Structure 1
Amino acid sequence: MTIVPLVKVNLVGILDDKEKVLEAAQVFGTLHLIALTSAQKELEAVPAGLGREAVEALRWLMDCQAQRRPVTEPDDFHLEEVVDRTLKNRKALKDCQDLLAKLDRRIQDVEPWGDFSFSELEEIGHNRLWFYVVPHSKLKAVDTSDKVLEVVHQDRYRSYVVLLSPEEPAVNAMPVPRTHVGSASLSQLKRAYEKAAIDLEELELERQSLTKWRYILARNLAAARDLSARQRAALETADSERIFMLQAWARRDQVAEIQELSAKLGIAAVFEDLSEEDRPPTLLENAKALEAGEDLVEFYQTPGYRDWDPSSVVYVSFIIFFGMIMTDAGYGLLLLALLFLFRKRFTGSELGRRMFRMFAWLMVSTTAFGVATGSYFGVSPPEGSFLAHLKVLHLKDVDTMMKITLTIGVVHIVLANLLRAFHEKTPSGRYQPVGWSLVALGGLATFLGQGTLFATAGPVSIIVGLLTVGFFGSDRKVESVKSGGLRLFDGLAALARIVNIFSDVLSYMRLFALGLAAASLAETINSLSGQLNHAVPGIGLLIALLVLSIGHAINIGLGVIAGFVHGLRLNVIEFFNWGLKDEGKPFRPFKKEETRL
């Protein structure tokens, strides 16, 4: 596990060659670009680029139910034109669907009034028509003595009343607010609906026709996104007259390769060592078997460049914690079989392959802890059997399981402190973690070693640890009474974390609690299904099998969620809290995307 050393590189060339240099840097694929100019307005003008538009276009075509035979030879294919036509089709089709829904609603509203058109005002004495939908219960409340009105339609619940008046009647003239019918007649609305329906069919046919480009469009997605990335990168270089400069972070061990690349491109490459003010990104590098640990770490927090890489520790401990929470051999083997059946879904990318390896180990861990606790879909092996001899942990033995989980918590937190102390450079940075390690180990020795020498050594270790933490509370130099008082205050403030270490160690008891809950729920499901089988002869067997299937499926789902949430939480909250000092930003190489066919 390591954080790769970086160096700052400046590539300087002629402005006319910038596109060529950017494309070469993208092919090189290991430079983390540094923005030299603020081009926010320009970036907002092209935030998505053709890459995202191409993704949206492909998704629109793939969602089409009627697919045409795909074109495989790109002779007549023009990416920009196909993407533009597809997105216009999507917008027009959605607008047409919205129009149809609006017209359908208008037709339903107007239909009870009949098919009519408004006459000219002169023809009806400058009177206007006002429309009201009156519930039958309120119809008697209408005063007809001073109104010219007509009930034009009635249904089971309402009467449709038209009132003739030159001005809008007062609000209290009718028992209900007036209804807005609109100026279009029913026949006009129906004609507009028919035209929109025909237009929708034409647009759907156009969409079907465009689906023939889906295969080639998928092949060109990476190229489209690469072009978009280069356009954005070109806005953040430093340009002056005919010269441009591209600045980036690069691996220190690739300096020779970058010099060779710059010579080939005919540009200058200037390298700078890191200064104290620099905040470079963090590039993690681990063995292939432990690479998934980098994804777990960066999921929550990337360590600072001058910190250390916790990927391998997090990876191993997460696998152990997940197995302890699931703790059922039957669940582990079932999920491992499903993972094997769907293994091809993980082979399309490097990330997928890393996840496949990690998921496999998670299931192996679940199976191993299930064997150790003697749980197979909630069923314990018979006494005297081979599997019963492999049962070495008893989840219902509360005292033993508490001791095991607390020991795991102390070891995990002590490991975090010792690794932090090893990578620190200042006295306080080195000795404070050592002091907290002594406190944690002393507390564990006091708890576990009751009646032994450890019970005496434990408090001594705690006192020595607290004195170490207090003495090395900061690196402030004592040069006066004031600075001495501040140094004492720093020590007391550092000692306040004793509450944190106590609560963090106790947090690891969730491993036992969740494992016991999962095992107890599995036993309850089995017991309930057995009772149903005996209570209802015949069909009870089917009900019992249904309860077993649904119940264990729910328990597996809850176990997987708990394993991920709490297994990661103990690493990224408790472990990171004691092990990492700075939060950094991940190294994002400027590179071409992986092409998947």
Structure 2
Amino acid sequence: MSIVPLTKVSLVGVLEDKEKVLEATQAFGALHLIPLSDAQKELEAVPAGTGREAVEALRWLMDAPVQRLQVTDPSSFDLNETVSQSVENRRLVKDCEDRLARLKKRIHDVEPWGEFNFTDLENLKGNRLWFYVVPTGKLREIDPSNKVLEVVHADTYRAYVVLLAPDEPEVGDMPVPRVHVGAVSLSTLKKHYEEAAIELEELQLTRQALTKWRFLLASNLAAARDQAVRHRAGLETGDAGRVFVLQAWARQDQIEEIEALSGEIGVAAVFDEVTAEDQPPTLLENRPGLAAGEDLVEFYQTPGYRDWDPSVIVYISFVIFFGMIMTDAGYGLLILTLLYLFRKRFGSSEQSRRLLRMAMWLMVSTAAFGVATGSYFGIAPPEGSFLAKLKVLHLKDVDTMMKITLTIGVVHIVLANLMRSLNETTPSGRFQPLGWCLVALGGLATFLGQGTIFATLGPGAVVAGLLTVGFFGSDRKVNSLSSGGMRVFDGLASLARVVNIFSDVLSYMRLFALGLAAASLAETINTLSGQLNDAVPGVGLLIAILVLIIGHSINIGLGLIAGCVHGLRLNVIEFFNWGLKDEGTAFRPFKKEETRL
């Protein structure tokens, strides 16, 4: 595990060649650009609509339920026309679906009234039709005297009443407010619905036909984004007269490659060492099998360039913590089998392959802790069996599990402080973490070593650690009474973290609590299933199986969530809090996109 040493490179060339240089460095794909000018105003003036529409068009075609064969020959492809047609097709489909939904509701509302057409007021001698949906229990409340009305339809719960009158009746004349049926007849509504359904089908066929361009659209979309990135990079170079300067961070071991590149594109390359004033980005590099730790670290906080790389420790501890939380051999082996069967779906990129390897190790850890705790889908192995002999941890033994989890917490935090001490250069930076190591180990010895010599040595280690922390509270030089007082204040302020180390160690007890909760829920599911099977002969077996499937599926889901959230939390909060000093910026190479469909 390491942070890759970087160097600052400046490419100096003629302004007319800037676009060619940008294309070459983007194809090289290993430089982290340094902005030399603020390009925000120029970037805000560039319209962003076309790129957004292209993304929407591609997403629309990729989500189409029926796909045509892809066209790979770009000779007949028109990017703007394809984007325009796809966006318009999306708009028309959405409008047509909304119209169909409205017509369906109107038909549902009008159908009980039957087929009718409004005639002229002269034919009705100035009368109008007023429509009411009256609950059956309120029909008796209608006074039929001096009213011309008809019940045109009725079901169990309501009656559809039409009233003929020149003006709308008063509120008290009818038990319910009138409804608005509309002037369009039922047959006309059904005709419009049929026309809209046919139109939607034709639009779906058009969408299906457009899917043949999705590969070329994606390829051109990546090219368009590459061009946008080059445009931004061009605005952020340092231009003076006919000369421009492109400045970037690069790996020290790629200096020869960059020199060869500069010779090919006809620019001068100047290399500068990292100075104390520089803030280089952080490039983490680990072996392929442990590279997923980089993703875990950068998910929350990228360490500073002058700090250390915690990727391997975070990766290994996350695998262990996840297994302790989920802790069931049956769950682990089941998901491990599924990951193996669907492993080809994770081969699209290097990152997905790293995540697949990590997921497999997480399930191996889950299975291993499941064997150690004797849990197989919540079922304990029979006494005296081989699997029972492998059970070395008892989740319901609270005292033992508390000691184990607190020991893990102390070891994890001590490891963080040791790594920080090894990577610091000042006396306070080196000795203060060592003092906290003594405090944590002394507290653990006092707790675990009751009745032994460790119970006597533990408090002494705690006191020695606190004195070390207080004495090396800062690197302030004492050359006067006031500076001496401030040095004492710095030491006391450093000692205030004793509360943090105590609470952080206790945080690791969640490993035991969550593992016990998962195991208890699995046992409860099995018990409930068995009771249902006994209580309902015959069909009870089917119900019991459903309870097992649904219950264990929920428990697996909860275990995955808890393992990820709390397994990461203990690393990125408790561990980082004691192990890392600075937060850095991730190394983002200026490179072309890859198109994979």
**TM-score, normalised on structure 1?**
0.86
Please give the alpha-carbon distance, in whole angstroms, between the structure 1 residues aligned to 2:83 and 2:341: 36
**SS in structure 2 at match of 1:248:** strand
In structure 2, what is the equivalent of residue 168 of structure 1? none
Task: Determine whether 1:15 maps to 2:34.
Answer: no
In structure 1, what is the equivalent of residue 262 of structure 2? 262
Report the AA paired with residue 42 of structure 1. L
Please give the alpha-carbon distance, in whole angstroms, between the structure 1 residues aligned to 2:386 and 2:372: 12
In structure 2, what is the equivalent of residue 396 of structure 1? 396
Tell me how far 1:491 sits from its aligned partner.
Answer: 1.3
In structure 2, what is the equivalent of residue 489 of structure 1? 489
Tell me how far 1:306 sits from its aligned partner.
Answer: 1.6
Tell me how far 1:229 sits from its aligned partner.
Answer: 2.6
Moved more, 575-584 or 525-534: 525-534
In structure 1, what is the equivalent of residue 6 of structure 2? 6
In structure 2, what is the equivalent of residue 250 of structure 1? 250
**SS in structure 1 at match of 2:10:** strand
Sort the Cα spacing of 1:133 and 1:276 in 2 relative to 1 into closer, same or farther, 3 A.
farther
- Report Cα offsets for 1:533-581 as digits up to 9, x if no partner: 3333333322222222222222222111111111111101110111111
In structure 2, what is the equivalent of residue 213 of structure 1? 213
Please give the alpha-carbon distance, in whole angstroms, between the structure 1 residues aligned to 2:182 and 2:542: 60
Please give the alpha-carbon distance, in whole angstroms, between the structure 1 residues aligned to 2:120 and 2:45: 49
Tell me how far 1:466 sits from its aligned partner.
Answer: 0.6
Moved more, 509-518 or 225-234: 225-234
Please give the alpha-carbon distance, in whole angstroms, between the structure 1 residues aligned to 2:213 and 2:417: 57
**SS in structure 1 at match of 2:271:** strand
Please give the alpha-carbon distance, in whole angstroms, between the structure 2 residues aligned to 1:244 and 1:132: 79
Please give the alpha-carbon distance, in whole angstroms, between the structure 2 residues aligned to 1:478 and 1:175: 92
Task: Determine whether 1:24 maps to 2:1.
Answer: no
Tell me how far 1:481 sits from its aligned partner.
Answer: 2.2
**SS in structure 1 at match of 2:450:** coil
Report if the CA contact (8 A) 1:416-1:578 is conserved: yes
Moved more, 312-321 or 546-555: 546-555
Moved more, 284-293 or 423-432: 423-432
In structure 1, what is the equivalent of residue 46 of structure 2? 45
Report if the CA contact (8 A) 2:131-2:181 is conserved: no
Please give the alpha-carbon distance, in whole angstroms, between the structure 1 residues aligned to 2:405 and 2:484: 41
Report if the CA contact (8 A) 1:115-1:187 is conserved: no
Please give the alpha-carbon distance, in whole angstroms, between the structure 2 residues aligned to 1:385 and 1:109: 69
Q: Tell me how large the CA RMSD over aligned residues is.
A: 3.7
In structure 2, what is the equivalent of residue 506 of structure 1? 506
Report the AA paired with residue 370 of structure 2. G
In structure 2, what is the equivalent of residue 526 of structure 1? 526
Give the number of equivalent residue pairs: 585
Tell me how far 1:309 sits from its aligned partner.
Answer: 0.8
Tell me how far 1:247 sits from its aligned partner.
Answer: 2.2
Tell me how far 1:218 sits from its aligned partner.
Answer: 4.3
Please give the alpha-carbon distance, in whole angstroms, between the structure 2 residues aligned to 1:272 and 1:178: 83
Report if the CA contact (8 A) 2:129-2:162 is conserved: no
Sort the Cα spacing of 1:19 and 1:182 in 2 relative to 1 into closer, same or farther, 3 A.
farther
**SS in structure 2 at match of 1:86:** helix
Task: Determine whether 1:230 maps to 2:230.
Answer: yes
Tell me how far 1:469 sits from its aligned partner.
Answer: 0.9
Tell me how far 1:487 sits from its aligned partner.
Answer: 1.7
Report if the CA contact (8 A) 1:132-1:176 is conserved: no
In structure 1, what is the equivalent of residue 300 of structure 2? 300
Moved more, 449-458 or 244-253: 244-253
Tell me how far 1:135 sits from its aligned partner.
Answer: 7.8
Report if the CA contact (8 A) 2:39-2:232 is conserved: no
Sort the Cα spacing of 1:245 and 1:107 in 2 relative to 1 into closer, same or farther, 3 A.
farther
Please give the alpha-carbon distance, in whole angstroms, between the structure 2 residues aligned to 1:101 and 1:589: 49
Report the AA paired with residue 409 of structure 2. G
Please give the alpha-carbon distance, in whole angstroms, between the structure 2 residues aligned to 1:329 and 1:76: 56
Tell me how far 1:371 sits from its aligned partner.
Answer: 1.6
Report the AA paired with residue 309 of structure 2. D
In structure 2, what is the equivalent of residue 571 of structure 1? 571
Report if the CA contact (8 A) 2:410-2:505 is conserved: yes
Please give the alpha-carbon distance, in whole angstroms, between the structure 1 residues aligned to 2:461 and 2:149: 95
Report if the CA contact (8 A) 1:132-1:177 is conserved: no
In structure 1, what is the equivalent of residue 517 of structure 2? 517
Please give the alpha-carbon distance, in whole angstroms, between the structure 2 residues aligned to 1:183 and 1:381: 74
Please give the alpha-carbon distance, in whole angstroms, between the structure 2 residues aligned to 1:579 and 1:266: 45
Aligned-residue sequence identity (percent) comes to 69
Task: Determine whether 1:336 maps to 2:321.
Answer: no
In structure 1, what is the equivalent of residue 475 of structure 2? 475
Report the AA paired with residue 2 of structure 1. S
Tell me how far 1:107 sits from its aligned partner.
Answer: 8.4
Tell me how far 1:196 sits from its aligned partner.
Answer: 6.0
- Report Cα offsets for 1:206-256 as digits up to 9, x if no partner: 212212223443455543432333233333333445433322221122122
Please give the alpha-carbon distance, in whole angstroms, between the structure 1 residues aligned to 2:40 and 2:130: 57
- Report Cα offsets for 1:458-498 as digits up to 9, x if no partner: 00110011111111112222222222222222111111111
Report the AA paired with residue 39 of structure 2. S
Please give the alpha-carbon distance, in whole angstroms, between the structure 2 residues aligned to 1:15 and 1:151: 88
Report if the CA contact (8 A) 1:327-1:366 is conserved: yes
Report if the CA contact (8 A) 2:237-2:244 is conserved: yes
In structure 1, what is the equivalent of residue 459 of structure 2? 459
Report if the CA contact (8 A) 2:331-2:377 is conserved: yes
Task: Determine whether 1:347 maps to 2:357.
Answer: no
- Report Cα offsets for 1:503-546 as digits up to 9, x if no partner: 11011111111111222222222222222233333333222222
Tell me how far 1:24 sits from its aligned partner.
Answer: 1.1
Report the AA paired with residue 341 of structure 1. L
**TM-score, normalised on structure 2?**
0.86
Tell me how far 1:190 sits from its aligned partner.
Answer: 8.8
**SS in structure 1 at match of 2:576:** helix
Moved more, 14-23 or 184-193: 184-193
Sort the Cα spacing of 1:466 and 1:47 in 2 relative to 1 into closer, same or farther, 3 A.
farther
Please give the alpha-carbon distance, in whole angstroms, between the structure 1 residues aligned to 2:394 and 2:255: 57
Report if the CA contact (8 A) 1:134-1:161 is conserved: no
Report if the CA contact (8 A) 1:333-1:363 is conserved: yes
Report if the CA contact (8 A) 2:118-2:183 is conserved: no
Moved more, 458-467 or 177-186: 177-186
Report if the CA contact (8 A) 1:131-1:160 is conserved: yes
Report if the CA contact (8 A) 1:67-1:211 is conserved: yes
Please give the alpha-carbon distance, in whole angstroms, between the structure 1 residues aligned to 2:416 and 2:352: 29
Sort the Cα spacing of 1:150 and 1:454 in 2 relative to 1 into closer, same or farther, 3 A.
same
Please give the alpha-carbon distance, in whole angstroms, between the structure 2 residues aligned to 1:118 and 1:247: 81
Report if the CA contact (8 A) 1:477-1:483 is conserved: yes
Report if the CA contact (8 A) 1:48-1:228 is conserved: no
**SS in structure 2 at match of 1:568:** helix
Tell me how far 1:416 sits from its aligned partner.
Answer: 0.3
**SS in structure 2 at match of 1:420:** helix
User: Any unmatched runs of 5+ in structure 2?
Assistant: none
Sort the Cα spacing of 1:99 and 1:382 in 2 relative to 1 into closer, same or farther, 3 A.
closer
Report if the CA contact (8 A) 1:132-1:162 is conserved: no
